[in-house]
Structure 1
Amino acid sequence: MNGLSSIELPLEETGLFSPIFIDFIKQRKWLDHFKLPKPNLQGLLQVAQDAEWEKIDRTILLNTLHAQYRELEESGSVIVGSVKDNLAALASPDSRTITTGQQLHPATGPLYVVFKILSTINLCKQLNAEQQSHRFIPVFWLASEDHDLQEIKELHLSGKSLTWQTEQAGPTGRMLCSGLPEMLDELKTALGTRPGFEKLLEDLRHAYKSHFSLSFATRKLIHEWFGQAGLLVLDPDAAELKRSFLPVMQRDAARQEAPQAAAKYEKELSTHGSLPLSVRSVNLFYLGEQFRLRIDAVPDGFRTSDHRFSWTSEQLGAEMEAFPQRFSPNVVLRPLYQQSILPNVAYIGGPSEVVYWLQLRGVFELHDIAFPVLLPRAQAVLVDNSMYEKFQRMGFSGNDWLEKPEELIARWMKMRGITTDAFDQARRLMVQGMDELTGFMEATDKTLGDAGRAEKMRLLQSIDKLEEKWKKSQKRSEDQSIQLIRKVRDRIFPNGTLQERHDNILGYIGTGALNHPIDLLDQMDPLKMVLRVIRT
């Protein structure tokens, strides 16, 4: 495991996840209504036997993948043997895929993107070691048609944020990488020279050339970093793949049944938490190089959300037949698109993704598309070895890593024998004495009661002030330990956000035992369903 070790925290004890997600990982009884395959090794192997996977047109899938890998090869990438082997294996009807997907964050974006990829590779390794009937192949699905540039343009590392300066619009995968080479220069300045970093930076520079599309650059980078483990990268923004999905897209627009189909399971979900998606009557976008426009149903047919394009029902059908690449499934149909073109046994996603796939159970049934095993990606935080050891020596462990700093500081002071007991006792004695004195004075002269009570409040305030001065004095003497507690919090929750949802992997490369993202592979077991605190 490349010198890496970790401790495991039960997800349900962290307080970081929604009730629905916790119910899912605990497989609560109410989920039986969804008739889901079980998220464990046995469930995966059972689903792998399903004859549904024979429906997949592997010829179209492989033609697309081979074309995309030829493009990589022509750009100088080496298609390693593990990728070639998995491409060959995918032609066999006995092969199955495990898939994860993500928007096109430059340099892979937040840590959880790397965690998703490694979780997928790790699970395939486990399944292939467990049996010989099926070959399990890890796939990374590019969400290349997503148009939300704001969600991907920032990169956070080592306390510094970098921003991709671009004014492009439309599907992010079709954007050019202009501006990203300059961001890589800033990245080099921010991180300097570290073991392993120079090679990763070289990979980044080869991938993010100004004239490359962001989709191509992302495929190239993910291949360079994870191809050695057999990961296949697929850009689904491909005409022939979309042509194979035409029946679903055409039915979605013509019949507008998705909201009713989703409602079959939404009521049950909504009693346990909020619904993440709004399922629309039409779940398609219209694509161009600089736009991705929602298609709405109107009385006389269809039109885009900005009113630039409109069609009758017949015209829309003809446009789909002639130009399938101009149509893009939204967040509702995208999972169905994935499951219709891949022999995909499982989808590995984040906590919110797991919930929104649950919401789509009825839409899958409507279109008679096989529903995969849902598995949450591995969850983790990375802590450098020195900080880890110091924190443990202070007597902290387990969920203490996630505690608020003020609570830990109070506990630390108590552990050190630094308590406020003396001040608490002083208050009790003073209140008791003043109450007795005030009672005595009031018994002889009722007008003196208020004066006694006012003096008691003044004395309480004086004790409070003395206590605060004493606390500051003690904290100064414990300043090093208190600063460590605050540093731990800032490391795990940078800017108040859980590390894996904020920081980029490059900020952790070369600072300890971690020299390449693949070094985390053995720590990324999605079947464990724990939060790992990993010593790097």
Structure 2
Amino acid sequence: MEVECIPFKETGYFSKLICDYLDQKEDLKPFFNRFPQIQNFKEQIQDKAKNYPMENRAVLVDRLQAQYQDFEISEATKDNLELLKSEGTFTITTGHQLNLFTGPLYFLYKIVSTINLTKRLKEQYPKYDFVPVYWMATEDHDFDEINYFNFKGQKVQWNREASGAVGHLDTDGLDPLLETFAAGLGDTKNAEYLKELFSASYLNHSNLADATRYLANTLFGAQGLVIVDGDDVGLKRLMLPYAKQDIFEQLPYEKVTESIQQLEEKDKDYKIQVNPREINYFYLKDGIRERLQKKDGYFEVVNTDIKFSQEELEKELNEFPRRFSPNVIARPLYQEVILPNLCYIGGGGELAYWLELKSYFEAMGVTFPMLLLRNSALVMTKKQKSKLEKLELKTTDLFLRQHSFINKKIREISNINIDFSEQKKFLEEQFQGMYQLAEQTDKTFLGAVKAQEVKQKKGLEALEKRLLLAQKRKLKDHVVRVTDIQNLLFPNQSLQERQLNFSELYLEFGDQLIPQLMRNLDPLAGQFLVLTF
């Protein structure tokens, strides 16, 4: 396999906040703990060891064993569950929604990054053990985000009514969806495996949480992946002290709001990912997951008739902790309370909201994890790579927005240089003399000079565009071929990993897909990877 590396900032697909984080900009250092470099894990291990009680570890192992009770698991996962009993064992964690059949391709990249980092850490720190963890977002309630996956340019969608936590949803009605999916797969060996995997995951399990556990365990169990479902009464008891501080004291709201204000002051281009609420918990019961809010001295469950006095709510928390579900602000803290975790691996959007949370963690007395941007990759075949070379395309060209991509190629292959940059520069120099003349004679003419400059620049730009269009028509065949290859590798003019489902690559590469990703995705590479199979 060939591997090409491209700096994230040169792809144009990652925010300024994330690019600055990767560059470890000084302004961002107050918002993270340690940057994820292999040598920095030593102190992170020491901090987490001091801050993670053995009682929490015992509860974690007990509840994980209960969650796995009805599943066949690999020896590697059994070994990791046993290792978690030891105070010298730490986790590396990623999380993801319960997307149907894994959803977008980057689901695989997240988990491969997580597994590979545990291997790197074991090599560097052999006296400790490191367990890869996938946190299933079973309590999310946005069904429309997870009820489909893309396959060969079509949406394979599960149409049904749904409410409450998606992990509780039964899997009835997925037979017709399998039939639709199977019809497009064909009858190759790889296609038959995908049909069997979908069937065994979704038709043989009664709810979406169990189906997803089976699927992830089948794909990554041999690598020792441990899957955690936070929707668990025993684990949520560990959350109670922190939930009470959130609900009754609103400490997270205060701290995260301060951090957001500080981030916005650092750079106006930093896009805030999520905003805290005064209460960052949902009430989860009987098919509902609705926000808690305080109103007129009572705690109400939004969109229901349920309400509690403070005394009643404290009683409910103590007796039924599973009914309280953390939102996107509170969930990271819950995760770090119950896991001996060193590092969270996520996408750019996830890391953006984690960067809002450090002061909140400090106020709660919980160690803030290291934050690692997951591997991102473009996978292409040797045939596709050969086509790029014949078209004299660089891989980096493909990351341009299509309009810029086409214009760049037209300029490169045209025998006419359609680039008016020099003419625009010459025009600006000529107008400098006119500005000076107006200054010396009558300053009221400055506006007229400026208007004339703008008009002439627009005229040049319009002529440039018309000439480019004329060249595009002349070179239509070449334009079609270069846009076809870009559309193939960047479906919907987006990153491949955000659009494709793993099944399309599995059809091509079969059981070599995951082993090849394991060999070639370096979690600490810090660059976008282009992989040619």
- Quick check: TM above 0.5? yes
1:384 aligns with 2:381: yes
Contact 2:12/2:400 (<8 A) preserved: no
Match of 1:90 in 2: 84
Structure 1 residue aligned with 2:39, among 38, 42, 48?
Answer: 42
1:312 aligns with 2:309: yes
Q: Secondary structure of 1:70's partner?
A: coil
Quick one: which amino acid aligns to residue 525 of structure 1? D
Quick one: which amino acid aligns to residue 33 of structure 1? P
CA distance in 2, matches of 1:233, 1:143: 11
Q: Secondary structure of 1:245's partner?
A: helix
Contact 1:286/1:304 (<8 A) preserved: yes
Structure 2 residue aligned with 1:143, among 137, 145, 160?
Answer: 137
TM-fit CA distance, 1:522:
2.2
Match of 1:110 in 2: 104
1:474 aligns with 2:468: no
TM-fit CA distance, 1:10:
0.2
Contact 1:177/1:211 (<8 A) preserved: yes
Structure 2 residue aligned with 1:519, among 503, 512, 516?
Answer: 516
TM-fit CA distance, 1:261:
1.4
CA distance in 1, matches of 2:498, 2:382: 21
Structure 2 residue aligned with 1:127, among 121, 131, 149?
Answer: 121
Structure 1 residue aligned with 2:493, among 496, 499, 504?
Answer: 496
TM-fit CA distance, 1:327:
0.9
CA distance in 1, matches of 2:118, 2:316: 39
Judged with a 3 Å threshold, the aligned counterparts in structure 2 of structure 1 residues 413 and 232 are, in CA distance, closer, same or farther, namely: same
Q: Secondary structure of 2:507's partner?
A: coil
CA distance in 2, matches of 1:362, 1:12: 27
- Residues 25-104 of structure 1: pairs in structure 2 closer than 5 A: 25-34=22-31, 36-50=33-47, 51-56=49-54, 57-73=56-72, 79-104=73-98
TM-fit CA distance, 1:403:
1.8
Quick one: which amino acid aligns to residue 373 of structure 1? M
Q: Which moved more, 1:196-205 or 1:514-523?
A: 514-523
Match of 2:340 in 1: 343
Match of 1:432 in 2: none
CA distance in 1, matches of 2:406, 2:297: 66
Match of 2:201 in 1: 207
Contact 1:145/1:171 (<8 A) preserved: yes
Quick one: which amino acid aligns to residue 17 of structure 1? F
1:152 aligns with 2:149: no
CA distance in 2, matches of 1:465, 1:328: 54
TM-fit CA distance, 1:475:
2.0
Contact 2:104/2:149 (<8 A) preserved: yes
1:136-180 deviation digits (Å, cap 9, x = unpaired): 100000010000001111210221211111112110000011222
Q: Secondary structure of 2:133's partner?
A: strand
Judged with a 3 Å threshold, the aligned counterparts in structure 2 of structure 1 residues 58 and 469 are, in CA distance, closer, same or farther, namely: closer
CA distance in 2, matches of 1:469, 1:255: 62
TM-fit CA distance, 1:355:
1.2
CA distance in 2, matches of 1:257, 1:407: 47
- Residues 74-473 of structure 1: pairs in structure 2 closer than 5 A: 79-209=73-203, 212-271=206-265, 272=267, 273-419=270-416, 471=471
Contact 1:261/1:363 (<8 A) preserved: yes
Judged with a 3 Å threshold, the aligned counterparts in structure 2 of structure 1 residues 174 and 289 are, in CA distance, closer, same or farther, namely: farther
Judged with a 3 Å threshold, the aligned counterparts in structure 2 of structure 1 residues 390 and 250 are, in CA distance, closer, same or farther, namely: same
Judged with a 3 Å threshold, the aligned counterparts in structure 2 of structure 1 residues 7 and 415 are, in CA distance, closer, same or farther, namely: same
CA distance in 2, matches of 1:207, 1:9: 36
Judged with a 3 Å threshold, the aligned counterparts in structure 2 of structure 1 residues 85 and 39 are, in CA distance, closer, same or farther, namely: same
1:292-316 deviation digits (Å, cap 9, x = unpaired): 0100011222001114210000000
Contact 2:91/2:131 (<8 A) preserved: yes
Quick one: which amino acid aligns to residue 283 of structure 2? Y
Contact 1:203/1:221 (<8 A) preserved: yes
Judged with a 3 Å threshold, the aligned counterparts in structure 2 of structure 1 residues 508 and 353 are, in CA distance, closer, same or farther, namely: same
Judged with a 3 Å threshold, the aligned counterparts in structure 2 of structure 1 residues 139 and 307 are, in CA distance, closer, same or farther, namely: same
Judged with a 3 Å threshold, the aligned counterparts in structure 2 of structure 1 residues 421 and 305 are, in CA distance, closer, same or farther, namely: closer
TM-fit CA distance, 1:517:
3.4
Judged with a 3 Å threshold, the aligned counterparts in structure 2 of structure 1 residues 471 and 372 are, in CA distance, closer, same or farther, namely: same
Judged with a 3 Å threshold, the aligned counterparts in structure 2 of structure 1 residues 464 and 203 are, in CA distance, closer, same or farther, namely: closer
CA distance in 1, matches of 2:468, 2:411: 16
TM-fit CA distance, 1:388:
1.5
Structure 1: gaps (5+ residues): 74-78, 424-459
TM-fit CA distance, 1:382:
1.8
Contact 1:178/1:211 (<8 A) preserved: no
Contact 2:418/2:464 (<8 A) preserved: no
Q: Secondary structure of 2:94's partner?
A: strand
Judged with a 3 Å threshold, the aligned counterparts in structure 2 of structure 1 residues 322 and 393 are, in CA distance, closer, same or farther, namely: same
Q: Which moved more, 1:508-517 or 1:304-313?
A: 508-517
CA distance in 1, matches of 2:77, 2:8: 34
CA distance in 1, matches of 2:396, 2:250: 47
Structure 1 residue aligned with 2:528, among 527, 531, 536?
Answer: 531
Match of 2:440 in 1: none
Judged with a 3 Å threshold, the aligned counterparts in structure 2 of structure 1 residues 367 and 53 are, in CA distance, closer, same or farther, namely: closer
Judged with a 3 Å threshold, the aligned counterparts in structure 2 of structure 1 residues 414 and 30 are, in CA distance, closer, same or farther, namely: closer
1:483 aligns with 2:483: no
Q: Percent identity?
A: 33
How large is the RMSD of aligned CA atoms in angstroms? 2.5
Contact 2:411/2:418 (<8 A) preserved: no
TM-fit CA distance, 1:44:
2.1
CA distance in 2, matches of 1:128, 1:157: 37
Quick one: which amino acid aligns to residue 331 of structure 1? V
Q: TM-score, normalised by structure 2?
A: 0.86
Rg (Cα) greater in structure: 1
Judged with a 3 Å threshold, the aligned counterparts in structure 2 of structure 1 residues 33 and 414 are, in CA distance, closer, same or farther, namely: closer
Judged with a 3 Å threshold, the aligned counterparts in structure 2 of structure 1 residues 35 and 496 are, in CA distance, closer, same or farther, namely: closer
TM-fit CA distance, 1:259:
1.8
Quick one: which amino acid aligns to residue 55 of structure 1? P
